[in-house]
Amino acid sequence: MTTFGSLKVRNYRLFTTGQLIKLLGTWMLFTAQDWLVLQLSGNSASALGVVTALQFTPVLLLTLYGGQLADRYDKRRLLLIANGAAAVVATLLGVLVVSGVVTLVWVFVTAALFGMISAIETPVRQSFVSELVTKELLPNALSLSSATFNTARVVGPAVAGIVIALLGDSTGPIFLLTALLSIAPLVSLARMRSSELYRVEREPVAARDVRTVDGLRYVWRRPDLSLAIFLVLVIGLFGFNFQLTLAVLARVEFKVDAQYFGLLTTAIAVGALAGALASSRRRSRPSVWRVLAAAILFGAFETLVGFAPSFIAAVVLLLPTGFFMIYFAQAANQRVQLGTDAAFRGRVMALYVLVFLGSTPLGSLVIGWCAEQFGPRSGIWAGGLISLLATLVVTVFQLRKAGGKVRVHLRPRPHVQVVLEPVR
């Protein structure tokens, strides 16, 4: 299988193109939004935590319902509606900023609206990938979708930082550009051929037959799924708050302007892109040990970022941090998707998205408070340390359950091997 094998499929190629263009605008918007909040609030980390929480709180409330919709209705039609709504909200925010009437309250409102749209759109989009390619190409397609996401994370914040600097700290044009770029997925979805989608033919499903509680019971009965989702919950809660922590680190600790803030986010995104591409050649479902190893390395490198002695050191350390962040997230995502029956995929992926993104509201408030009370660095090293310790506990539990042993080899190349022995 080649690195870009899934792009040979027309529908997937259209999907990826539309998502890349839209996500470029989305990450530009997120960067501009964070900078705007700091401008309006007088560099308040708590205000940034509030807007992040408002953006992700709807995930707690609506994501499971979004998964239920994905298992009942046409996923492509749902994506058309959600992307159209996102374009309208981006236009509203852009007009408010350009006209000079925007306030912190308006930013809070639009952040909550974006969160509501994302809560429905994300589980639908995640489960829709399985309808675009064959099962053999699905691991590659999932990795390329992640690479698309992180390509946007590389380019979007960097472009936003440069534009903000060139316009004298003005963010309004970025929001308007985001609205324009949001049209791309609408065009791509409309051009897809329904006859070439890989769908499981089923009779129309009534709401009583697609209950959220059945999806939760399905995961509960599958320890292989629940372990991966638990790790995503803990690490998402404490470790994946870079939208908040990097902005505070750049402006408060290192005292740099917008373009250098963009360099921090670009560094972690470059590493994340490399991590996504590294997993794109995977042909089968990743093992639990691969998921655990990636989580341990992510927690270790994030902790080191929190203690970076200089801005340059932070940039360098963010590269492997981003690599293992997305390598872990991608391995967990593939382990869940490739181990789930098609009839439950929407609801299971909704639960995955819920713990992956929905944990951010509480985490952002805790990390934001920590950064204000104990310094901007503490928000990063505390998140990394908690992620590392939690993963080590789960690893020990899994080793005891499987009767396994860890062996470290230095030759012919340094590597760690997990040897499983029958439990007596």
The CATH number of whichever domain residue 282 belongs to comes to 1.20.1250.20
pLDDT of residue 263: 78
Average pLDDT rounded to a whole number, residues 293-315: 89
The pLDDT tens digits of the residues spanning 65-99 come to 888 888 788 888 999 999 899 889 988 888 888 88
Is the pLDDT reported for residue 379 higher than 50? yes
Is the pLDDT reported for residue 34 higher than 50? yes
Distance in angstroms (rounded) separating the CA atoms of residues 125 and 149: 12
Average pLDDT rounded to a whole number, residues 336-353: 79
pLDDT of residue 391: 92
Q: Choose between 133 and 366: higher pLDDT.
A: 133
pLDDT of residue 27: 84
* Residue 216 three-state SS: helix
pLDDT of residue 292: 92
Greatest mean pLDDT range, 228-237, 337-346, 396-405? 228-237
With contact defined as beta carbons under 8 Å apart, do 218 and 325 qualify? no
Radius of gyration of the chain (CA): 21
Indicate the average pLDDT of the chain: 81
Distance in angstroms (rounded) separating the CA atoms of residues 96 and 29: 14
Distance in angstroms (rounded) separating the CA atoms of residues 252 and 68: 42
Q: Tell me the backbone φ, ψ of residue 42, rounded to 5 degrees.
A: 70, 45
Q: How far is CA 335 from the centre of its chain?
A: 16
Peptide bond into 320 cis (omega under 30): no
Res. 187 pLDDT band, cuts 50 70 90:
very high
pLDDT of residue 98: 84
Confidence (pTM):
0.69
Average pLDDT rounded to a whole number, residues 189-195: 88
With contact defined as beta carbons under 8 Å apart, do 287 and 395 qualify? no
What residues contact residue 2 under an 8 Å CB cut-off, 6+ apart?
A: 281
Helix crossing, 138-166 with 10-41: angle to 10°? 40
* Residue 204 three-state SS: coil
Res. 397 pLDDT band, cuts 50 70 90:
confident
Average pLDDT rounded to a whole number, residues 183-205: 78
Q: Which domain holds residue 61?
A: 5-420
pLDDT of residue 138: 81
Structurally, the chain folds into a number of domains equal to 1
Is the pLDDT reported for residue 154 higher than 70? no
Res. 198 pLDDT band, cuts 50 70 90:
confident
Amino acid at 63: T
Is the pLDDT reported for residue 244 higher than 80? no
Amino acid at 209: D
Res. 404 pLDDT band, cuts 50 70 90:
low
% of the chain exceeding 70 in pLDDT: 86
pLDDT of residue 389: 92
Is the pLDDT reported for residue 424 higher than 50? no
Average pLDDT rounded to a whole number, residues 204-219: 68
pLDDT of residue 414: 67
The pLDDT tens digits of the residues spanning 345-371 come to 778 877 887 787 766 667 777 777 777
Query: Which residue is associated with the tokens 């209705």?
Result: 73
With contact defined as beta carbons under 8 Å apart, do 399 and 406 qualify? yes
Residue 163, classified by CB atoms within 10 Å of its CB into exposed (0-12), middle (13-18) or buried (19+), is buried
- The 10 Å Cβ neighbour count of residue 9 is 18
pLDDT of residue 331: 87
